[in-house]
Chain A
């Protein structure tokens, strides 16, 4: 099943051109509705990608070009001068290191905790299960913006301000409820009958879980991990109050500081966009790596087959 999926995925474009060349009949006839859908999809794709493109385009152009009357839609005559100017301030890499340590700590513990809880609520019947689910659903609604003063006071009294552990604790708690709910959906999506069948065939409960259910949960874990990563990487409000010292800034705080510093003079949009690009690019690369696993229908394939 898996090799077959991978093969069709890898050779999708070559298969299409091959069928054209040899005149083999296509699997699906071209319908007008499909063409309209494709055009709409491409227009929407351009609309959604454009701000990201515009950020990168602007980051390559000198401010003099950006503030001229006619915008330059392509980065002709561009250079990396804006990036050099940003790097020369020497504050980017410490912020990157801070963001990475906080985010990776959060993702690891969040997935571990949420996975355990998701197993408990979707594979066991126990007293208090319903209350826990109810609590999770309500807790994930608590607006962080209404709690951050209290969280600041607590971290302050624990001596965990300007500390990876302190902010990670808050991030894990902020992300865990939704991750539990998300993973619960994936665990429940794998029919318990598959596990029971394996147990009838002689596997232990643990064995059935790790040999049958766990591999089918990989897309769920990836999706939840991506969610947790995004939340922690992008978080702004809590970081603003917990990480006050400049050397403990995460990337969002660093970028805001950069924009503010630039706005005190006439904003240098080229440098601001270069700084934004530096903040966004690690995430975008990470995303393009995981996107295949995010969207490949491993579960769908297994359940259907």
Chain B
């Protein structure tokens, strides 16, 4: 577009000056090696740290690891038997269902609150915005394990602040164990994951919002566009690229919550009824040293992730070109 309109806008100088022909012509794009050199370090490190282990994993998923292998014997080749075992196991499907539900609920809640937070940052005065941003940065900056210890302390069944506060408000939550029942366990996990994830979403969207021209918004307001109309017709289309990326990443990250679930389980939850995919694979792989089954599960998770995100990736690629 602009490449066409620029020469059209000022056609006078070109014929007036006896410029050498190669400057008058649009610069020919020689196929350059530069982009390939620029990509070498990234591709190299990805091949070493991800490509090779991935291949190992595919091979291992066709092997059986039993007691013999713990004493150094080579694993037996069993073809797709690990996959068959995984896919016919009711426990697998329970874990898969829980993981997908958990991931979608958490991602949706996080993105909605994050966008709301970003709009708030944009709407309030400088001092209020700074306070909100510092609060967000505090939560964002907290290392996962540190956050988990604090939240476990807050939800502690004996001396936790949450039980004390709810009891003070008139509900009897004295010595209530939040981690015992799966639904209540996932509620606590959701609170923590959303608390951790919202700042990233809020700051990303806010960065997108600062690119939205205030002149356009003010003009729309003068023309009588309501706040929701301005949001859906002007702001949303402009922040959509960053919104899509952020939503996609939330889905991926929330599908593989590991440290959070693991720490909550360590704090006294039953593992079998609260396992999500990450902790389940960990239990099968590390706990039981069943590398074959763990690899098969991992590959299933990889495919599931890619399947879940395929539409988003295609969308992102379309935006990119």
Chain A positions within 8 Å of B, measured between CB atoms, are 12-13, 33-34, 37-38, 40-42, 44-46, 48-49, 51-52, 54-55, 58, 66-67, 70-71, 109, 112-114, 116-117, 119-121, 124-127, 129-130, 132-135, 137-147, 149-151, 153-154, 169-170, 172-174, 176-178, 180-181, 185, 189, 193, 223, 230, 233-234, 236-237, 241, 251-252, 255-256, 259-260, 269, 272-273, 275-277, 279-280, 283-284, 286-288, 291, 294-295, 297, 299-300, 303-304
Complex Cα distance A286/B143, Å?
Answer: 13
Complex: A117 Cα to B44 Cα, angstroms: 12
B135 in contact with A256 (CB, 8 Å) = no
Contacting A at CB under 8 A, from B197-229, are 198-199, 203, 206-207, 210-211, 213, 227
Contact A169 B45 (CB under 8 A): yes
Q: Does B171 contact A (CB under 8 A)?
A: no
> Are B132 and A45 touching (Cβ within 8 A)?
yes
Task: Give complex CA distance A172, B47 in Å.
Answer: 12
Is the Cβ of B131 less than 8 Å from the Cβ of A41?
Answer: yes
**Distance (Å) between the CB of B319 and the closest chain A CB?**
10
Decide: A145 and B281 in contact? CB cutoff 8 A.
yes
- Closest chain-B Cβ to A273's Cβ sits at a distance in Å of 7
Q: How far is the CA of A170 from the CA of B145 in the complex (A)?
A: 20
Q: Decide if A273 touches B42 in the complex (CB within 8 Å).
A: no
Measured between beta carbons, the chain B residues less than 8 angstroms from A151 are 49, 53
Which 5 A/B pairs are nearest by Cβ-Cβ distance?
A146-B298, A150-B53, A173-B49, A45-B135, A120-B38
- Is there an interface contact between A116 and B154, defined as CB atoms closer than 8 Å? no
Give Cα distance in the complex from A255 to B161, angstroms.
Answer: 22
Measured between beta carbons, the chain B residues less than 8 angstroms from A130 are: 317, 321
- Report B129 CB to chain A, min CB distance, Å: 7
In angstroms, how far is the closest chain A Cβ from the Cβ of B172?
15
Within 8 A of A (CB), among B245-287: 245, 249, 252, 255-256, 258-259, 263, 266, 277-278, 281-282, 285-286
- When the two chains form their complex, are residues B159 and A42 in contact, meaning their CB atoms are under 8 A apart? no
CB-contact partner of A295 in B125, B145, B206, B255, under 8 A: B206
A146-B301 contact given A12-B127, A126-B36, A269-B159, CB 8 Å threshold: yes
Note all chain B residues with C-beta closer than 8 A to A299.
Answer: 211
The stretch of B26-34, B81-89, B179-187 in contact with A is B26-34
Q: Is B134 an interface residue (CB 8 A)?
A: yes
In-complex Cβ contact of A40 among B120, B141, B259 (8 A): B120
Return B22 CB to nearest CB of chain A, in Å.
Answer: 14
Distance in angstroms between the alpha carbons of A255 and B143 in the assembled complex = 10
What's the A-B contact tally at a CB cutoff of 8 Å? Answer: 289
Q: List 21 A-B contacts (CB under 8 A).
A: A45-B134, A51-B154, A70-B164, A117-B39, A119-B38, A126-B31, A133-B317, A138-B313, A145-B298, A147-B54, A147-B298, A173-B49, A193-B2, A230-B141, A234-B144, A272-B149, A273-B150, A280-B146, A295-B207, A300-B210, A304-B213
CB distance from B120 to the nearest CB of A (A): 5
- Contact of B234 with A by CB under 8 A: no
Main secondary structure of the interface of B (DSSP, over half): helix
- Cα–Cα, bound, A212→B221 (Å): 34
- Cβ contact within 8 Å between B131 and A140: no
Q: Give CA–CA (A12, B140) in the complex, Å.
A: 26
Quick one: which of B283-310 are within 8 Å of A by CB? 285-286, 291, 294-295, 297-299, 301-302, 305-306, 309
CB atoms of B259 and A116 under 8 A apart: no
Does the CB pair A51–B143 fall under 8 Å? no
Q: Which residues of B contact A54 (CB under 8 A)?
A: 150, 153-154, 161
Q: A299 CA to B297 CA in the complex, in Å?
A: 44
Q: What residues of A have a CB within 8 angstroms of the CB of B193 in the complex?
A: none
Cβ-closest chain B residue relative to A256:
B145
From B153, B203, B266, B317, contact of A272 by CB (8 A): B153
Please measure, in the bound complex, the distance between the C-alpha atom of A124 and the C-alpha atom of B34, giving whole angstroms: 9
Asked if B313 contacts A134 (CB within 8 A), the reply is: yes
User: Shortest CB–CB separation between residue A49 and chain B, in angstroms?
Assistant: 4
Given contacts A12-B127, A112-B41, A172-B49, 12 further A-B contacts (CB under 8 A): A34-B125, A48-B199, A52-B142, A113-B41, A116-B41, A121-B35, A130-B317, A138-B313, A146-B57, A146-B256, A153-B56, A172-B45
* Chain B residues with CB under 8 A of A33: 123, 227
Closest to A31 in B: B123
Quick one: closest A residue to B52, CB to CB?
A154
Chain A residues with Cβ below 8 Å from B286 are 149, 241
Within 8 A of A (CB), among B117-164: 117, 120-121, 123-129, 131-147, 149-151, 153-154, 156, 158-159, 161, 164
Cβ of B66 within 8 Å of any chain A Cβ, yes or no, is no
- Whole-angstrom distance from the CB of A137 to the nearest CB of chain B? 5
Q: How far is the CB of B240 from chain A (nearest CB, A)?
A: 13
- Specify which of B127, B136, B143 is in contact with A13 (CB 8 Å cutoff): B127
